[in-house]
Amino acid sequence: MHCHILPGLDDGCQSMDETIQTLREAERQQIRQMIVTPHYYPGRYMVSAIQVRKTLDEVRRQCEKQGINITLYPGQECFYYSGLTELLNSGSVLTLAESRYVLVEFSPDCLFTYLLSGLRDLRQNGYIPILAHFERYRCLQKEGHLEMLKEQEYLLQMNFDTLLQKDGWFRKNPWRAVVKNGAVDFLGSDCHGTDFRPLRVAEVYEWLGVHLNSRQRKQILTDNIQKILQNIY
């Protein structure tokens, strides 16, 4: 539910060949459904809904030709700014899989008041925000801030690499404990292709199998994703 595999749209896959290689690897790792989420980032990646849908259709055709059996859904990772809700309302940028769920990111050094205000703006406009790679936001390391988000029932997505303590954002912080206590709603690869932040599904499954019970695993890996695909909350 968080990946950058559409070719040539953002800082993810840069060619159809790389996209197909990534999807073959996804299939090998037993992924059967993916929501593709190219960036919408004002001034950097001004990817429109039309571009996403057109490119996704091309990728689907290639998958069919090459026998790749993965169902792909449209979406975007949206950088929050004051005009985002207007773009979502007009359909110029995309929610996840045609649902009310929005994958939203902020600047890592944003103020907590700004982050909370942005999430509230989306909610007040009828959307269900999912905070992308929440572990990046420095303001959430301050005592009480993460708890406040959960008290207000905001949804959190963590990257695979954070869970696995790979090189990357805040890898030395104790984010694994947040997964164990049930505060994380979604895990996403944030895959950018075959080299940059590759898929690590098998490793994630192994860790979850050791540290979470079956009910917790089902909630993160199946139930919450189905809520997106079925547009329920």
pLDDT in tens, the chain (233 residues): 999 999 999 999 999 999 999 999 999 999 999 999 999 999 999 999 999 999 999 999 999 999 999 999 999 999 999 999 999 999 999 999 999 999 999 999 999 999 999 999 999 999 999 999 999 999 998 999 999 999 999 999 999 999 998 865 555 566 788 898 899 999 999 999 988 888 999 899 999 999 999 999 999 999 999 999 999 98
On whether residue 5 sits in a domain, the answer given is no
On whether residue 54 sits in a domain, the answer given is yes
On whether residue 4 sits in a domain, the answer given is no
What is the pLDDT, as a whole number, of residue 228? Answer: 98
Q: For the chain, how many structural domains are there in total? A: 1
Indicate the pairing of strand 101-105 with strand 77-79: parallel
C-alpha span between 17 and 30 (Å, rounded): 20
What is the pLDDT, as a whole number, of residue 169? Answer: 53
C-alpha span between 131 and 5 (Å, rounded): 20
On whether residue 3 sits in a domain, the answer given is no
What is the pLDDT, as a whole number, of residue 39? Answer: 98
What is the pLDDT, as a whole number, of residue 203? Answer: 93
pTM equals 0.95
Closest CA to 101 of 62, 59, 130: 130
On whether residue 196 sits in a domain, the answer given is yes
What are the strands, taking DSSP E only, across 88-153? 101-105, 128-131
What is the pLDDT, as a whole number, of residue 168? Answer: 58
Burial class (CB in 10 A: 0-12, 13-18, 19+), 99: buried
What is the pLDDT, as a whole number, of residue 165? Answer: 87
What is the pLDDT, as a whole number, of residue 214? Answer: 94
C-alpha span between 220 and 224 (Å, rounded): 6
Structure tokens, 123: 């909610």
Closest CA to 36 of 24, 18, 23, 25: 23
C-alpha span between 88 and 101 (Å, rounded): 11
On whether residue 181 sits in a domain, the answer given is yes
Write out pLDDT tens, residues 213-233. Answer: 999 999 999 999 999 999 998
On whether residue 8 sits in a domain, the answer given is no
On whether residue 7 sits in a domain, the answer given is no
CATH classification of the domain holding 76: 3.20.20.140
Write out pLDDT tens, residues 78-125. Answer: 999 999 999 999 999 999 999 999 999 999 999 999 999 999 999 999
Domain extent for 59: 16-230
What are the strands, taking DSSP E only, across the chain? 33-35, 39-41, 45-46, 71-73, 77-79, 101-105, 128-131, 155-159, 186-188
